[in-house]
Structure 1
């Protein structure tokens, strides 16, 4: 079965000394831009330093804290790949067709 993929991107500007927290419920990829980014996640004893352009795959269901590493402003890019299975799209289309037919049949009978 074929999957249609769509990439959704979110961007966060991080000022020096600022810490943002992210509750990520799905698979994501974090990408550092502009300056190095410090990342730590709940339940993980390790911290991660991403140089500009480096990626970190995140685990769903965890909280992440992110900060600019240094005096420069950093940008964090969060990428999400949404999958739209063909079967789900077809089911929705068929349900819409059925509802349309039923509505037309009721209007014709009246």
Structure 2
């Protein structure tokens, strides 16, 4: 079975004490990289500390604030359906052209 998902990733470098704001329109997963990352979200009384490699599901339509006490990286990742059917059609067409060219070169050599 062919996997029809593509992973989209966004990386944010965080300097110590810097706060970045994220307003997202799709579901993502936030992953801490390099150091622990502090996350708070609008409407949620809790804060989240993510150790490197830990994940937090990020809901669309909410504002998130992300910070770190050390230099760190926050990665947002999301799996989406392939959006490039034209590319797939082009690959099939090129494969057909290649096969036809090889068939013609074999008959010409004989």
**TM norm structure 1:** 0.71
After superposition, the CA RMSD in angstroms is 2.0
Aligned residues: 86
Using the TM superposition, give the Cα deviation of residue 84 of structure 1 relative to its aligned residue in structure 2, in angstroms.
3.7
Please identify the structure whose Cα radius of gyration is greater: 2
Flag the structure with higher strand content.
1
Where 1:22 maps in the other structure, the secondary structure is strand
Moved over 2 A (4+): none
Q: Where do 5+ consecutive residues of structure 2 fail to align?
A: 90-110
Using the TM superposition, give the Cα deviation of residue 3 of structure 1 relative to its aligned residue in structure 2, in angstroms.
6.9
In structure 1, the partner of 2:80 is: 82
Does 2:13 align with 1:7? no
Find the aligned partners of 2:51 and 2:3 in 1 and give their Cα distance: 32
In structure 2, the partner of 1:42 is: 42
**TM norm structure 2:** 0.71
Q: Where do 5+ consecutive residues of structure 1 fail to align?
A: 94-110
Using the TM superposition, give the Cα deviation of residue 83 of structure 1 relative to its aligned residue in structure 2, in angstroms.
1.7
